[in-house]
Amino acid sequence: MAKKIHRRTFLSGAAGVTAAATIGMPYVARGAETLVINSYGGSFEKFMRSQIIPGFEKETGVEVKLDIGLTKAWIANLRAAGPENPPYDVLMFNSIWAALAKSEGFFEAIPESEVPNMKDLYSVARFPNNDGVVGWMQPVGLAYRPDMVKTPPTSYKDLWDNPEFRDKTGLYTITNTAGMMFLLMIAKVYGGSEYNTDVAFSKIKELKPFKQVDFSGSMEVMLTRGEINVGLLDFPAVARIKNKGGNMDVGIPEEGMFMFDQVFNVLKGSKNKAAGYKWINYILRPDVQAKWVKGYFVSPSNRSVEVADEVKHLIPIRGEKIASITGFDWKTANQNRDKVIDRWNKEMS
């Protein structure tokens, strides 16, 4: 059974003392077959523990230990420990953060021979050199209230062109991955390149005043309450609302969608890479992917997954429509991340 890591002070010489003074590190008593991974909390953790991990442990004999938290803490833990002695074997988080950790030397390529299910993935789920892999996808669309909107959105440009959305639009703050992706997408739509952020800033300022949120949960609340009538929201979130009888729908932007992705990465300094490869291969397996699809309404990254009939109406982005999802070159985009954040906070607050 998967165990939760208890946070203890991490001490290892002078460098360890310095790290311990600023951040708590996961302490793990490792056995020969122990795999240390991360997980978000709440319902996500419960699903991992009840539906995903038991089968892996039974099949492989590997004991899984979870560090429950959020990305900023995981990144901080990596930096405190260093690339050669990471506190994890496999890490999962959005590609914007994965690119940051890659640039700092924490990850290494995943051998396709060790993870044969990689060959069945959609192209958008793979990375150059196999230095990470997308476990599943949460495409982001233009969610809206059908009872408040006469003309559903079909393009990002509708946020500007449809007067129904004036003062009723919800966007994310720039520190949220979706906020940064929206900026890059608008740069591409109106400026011809995702790096033409000057154009994007100019266009987005035209939408003011608009509501800003830090998290998807906040966007859901504002839409549900009718504080806004359109906002960026991932398809699985809309599916959960609709499945509970909520008055919500989502438009597919004709210019393409970006996505919340969960990228799985093997730590270069892991002492148990073999178990890490088994874990990633297990996550990519069609039957395991199908559990995530049915339980969380995500889009599978494996082309072989059959989406159950009872949830097909809640998962419109599947099969050929996966090709409408776009990715970003986060290695390049992250080079200006701090400047973009500062500018957003000055101009969009």
So what CATH class is 140-259+329-347? alpha beta
Quick one: pLDDT at residue 29?
52
Task: Decide if 3-137+260-324 and 140-259+329-347 have a common fold.
Answer: yes
Q: Are 26 and 67 in contact (CB under 8 A)?
A: yes
Quick one: pLDDT at residue 349?
83
Structural domain boundaries in the chain = 3-137+260-324, 140-259+329-347
Q: What is the DSSP letter of 114?
A: T
Residue 75 CA, distance from chain mean position: 15
Model pTM? 0.88
Residue 11 CA, distance from chain mean position: 32
Q: Is it true that the peptide bond before 146 is cis, omega within 30 degrees of 0?
A: no
Quick one: pLDDT at residue 8?
34
pLDDT tens string 58-113 = 999 999 999 999 999 999 999 999 999 999 999 999 999 999 999 999 999 999 99
CATH among 3.40.190.10, 3.40.50.10860, 3.10.105.10, 3.30.420.40 for 3-137+260-324: 3.40.190.10
Q: Are 97 and 75 in contact (CB under 8 A)?
A: yes
Quick one: pLDDT at residue 302?
98
- DSSP letters for 224-248: HHTS-SEEEEEHHHHHHHHHTT-S-
Quick one: pLDDT at residue 16?
34
Q: Which residue positions in the chain have pLDDT lower than 70?
A: 1, 4-32
Quick one: pLDDT at residue 33?
83
